[in-house]
Chain A
Amino acid sequence: MEASRTDYFSLGEPKPDSMKLAVERRRATWLLIAPAFVVLLGLNLFPIVYALYISCHYWMLARPQPPRFAGLSNYQELFFDARFRNSVLVSLKFIVLAVGIEMLLGFGLAFVFNTRLRGMATLRKLTLLPSLVMPLVVGLVWFYMFNENFGIVNWFWVVLGGTRVPFLTQGALALLSIVATDVWQWTPFVMLVFFAALQALPEYVYEAARIDGLSGSQIFFRVTLPLLRPAILIVLIIRAVDALRSLELVFMMTKGGPAGDTEVLPWYLYTTGFMSPDLGYAAAMAVLMLALVTILSQLFVRQLESREVTR
């Protein structure tokens, strides 16, 4: 072999042999990552491309006709679909409310759990339980708890002197009930991330801040908060994207009702794709949703990457 004559230790001019070696090495690199690349391509890229393909077709599963190319007409139709617009709006409402409350509550709880009080470690473990439960089960449990006639929430409410509240069947209340359920399930996760971030904050920086003359609230706003920024952004991305995709609670608790007041985007997509079942239209919706998720997460990621320097 020619390569065996390569003198690895020679100094000075690069020899043709070493050029050949570099090429060989690059080829080996590609060969080695090829299997992973193929798997990734198959698992990630193919479904997306296929969804794009379907979204450009008219394809009703309930009818015998094969898929027919429809160009961008599915997208065009979506543009004028009031029900689609409503579902995007409901989704945004849900995300802002649920994730907003989760962030605030989780942040506050993290500070509480960060205090060195007796029993905090046990309490912390217990609070994590909700996030370990399957979302479908959570939805089922809260569906029963919020039930107007025999739910435990109403039972307490009546005991306290109130009249029965139709939590899941009255417009704004229904969405708020789902938000409450989501908050119940996901606040512990948010708390856990913030707690870990707080634990990792360097003690000595706080001492420096005390010597530099910052009061408690100033330390919070000018040291703690900036240092927690990465954690805040990461939790925001994870929770916002997750909330945008979440279907289980609506599926178990309201089925999008009443009158579309809780019809989040995934629910509309689900009913279109599997109930109607209009695959082309649903695929177009999925593609738009993917775009939304991508834009949303890119916004956060860019924030995360920009090393902002505060003065």
Chain B
Amino acid sequence: MAEVQLSGVRKRFGLVEALRGIDLAIPDSAYVCLLGPSGCGKTTLLRCVAGLETVDAGQIRIGSQNVEALEPFARNVGLAFQNYALYPHLDVRGNLSFPLRAPRRRTEFGDGEIEQRVKSIATLLQIDALLDKPIVALSGGQKQRVALGRALVRNPTVLLLDEPVTHLDARLRHEMRVELKLLQRRVGTTTIHVTHDQLEAQALGDLIVVMRDGLIEQVGTPDELCTRPATSFVASFVGDPPMSLLTARLGQEAGVLSLRVGAAQLRPGERLGRLLDGLCDQDVEIAVPAHHIALGHAGDEQTIAARVQAHEWVGRELQIVVALNGSPVPVRLRTQQRLALRIGDEIAIRLNLGSAHAFDSKTGRRLQSSAD
């Protein structure tokens, strides 16, 4: 168990800069999720920590040790691969004991101790009945458990999970999610979990690291990401559904601030108004949570005309995706009304900007007042 510290980590593959300077401190025993879209560098970062990739620049510390020059084995990390990466020619017991029997460790463990460790890890993961089965005879969920067991069996300082539940079916994914969390609580190993599924990240992570294009956008608790997104990207990526982004031009009408979105004029309200003060005639990005967008009547205040792009049932609610005039980014809202909508219908949506977030349209950074 140890904390993990990354500073200035860079990695380039040919012309592609996968990591462009990562600074991250992971506290001891934390469960951290690296979250981001495909190609954001999250898996590369994990592989750099594991030692499967060497870093071009920067430092990686596990505990008090600089590990960026060490080979994977010497870093004492456990890695569960996305596709399990079990040894197909061995049975479950063989796979679990393999890390302990690696000849460089021969001196460390006797046969009796290996057997005992394999047994206890198998019991922990509820695969003790499968110990003598060949890998090919296992189901996806069972393989996942064996992969986890192999990663945990030698008490790694850091547990690395690369999309560990992605290949499981939905129900099993939910079960494994809960188990992963419980398991980590029990063993207390610092865990880094890579995922592109923000629900998974929110369910599991003590901390979530949102990544994009090889950079960290925000590090925060699941709650912080939703209530105080640091960038417009985080606002539009995290949440179910994520917030809707509007590009608005700030104007002044008879001394009162107004936001022009397409043809509509919106009043920013007191809180937002304070943030936007002094940005007159500039573009800003406004992120509005889905439950603050409702269906409205054309011509009302704070209402914008929109066109239905798609609609689908999500649980008991109807999710409607609409396009605004002149805005390329779709807006999502949910309603419990039972509506007969067709794609292309003209509707009006009413925005409540009371808890909206504002971002600089150029940098994407959050605008915040000193009191915020």
Contacts and interface: CB of A to CB of B under 8 A. Distances in A.
Given A204-B85, A210-B52, A211-B73, A311 B90 contact: yes
A84 to B, nearest CB: 42
Interface in B101-129: 101-105
A37 B133 CA distance: 38
B93 interface: yes
Nearest to A202: B85
B79 A211 contact: yes
B87 A205 contact: yes
Contacts of B134: 307, 309
A307 B79 CA distance: 27
Q: How large is the interface on A (under 10, 10 to 19, 20 to 34, 35 or more residues)?
A: 20 to 34
Contacts of A271: none
Contact of B79 (A208, A215, A227, A310): A208
Interface string A44-88: 000000000000000000000000000000000000000000000
Contacts of B97: 311
Nearest to B92: A309
A108 interface: no
B87 A208 contact: yes
Contacts of A214: 73, 102-104
B328 to A, nearest CB: 39
A307 B103 CA distance: 24
Nearest to B101: A311
Contact of B72 (A204, A210, A215, A309): A210
Contact of A210 (B71, B78, B93, B150): B71
B93 A311 contact: yes
B43 to A, nearest CB: 12
B87 A211 contact: no
A207 interface: yes
Q: Give the 6 A-B residue pairs with the shortest CB-CB distance, closest first.
A: A213-B73, A213-B102, A204-B85, A226-B89, A212-B99, A208-B85
Given A205-B85, A211-B77, A309-B134, 13 more contacts: A205-B87, A207-B79, A208-B79, A210-B73, A211-B72, A212-B98, A212-B150, A214-B73, A309-B89, A309-B91, A310-B90, A311-B97, A311-B101
5 contacts: A205-B85, A207-B85, A218-B102, A309-B91, A310-B94
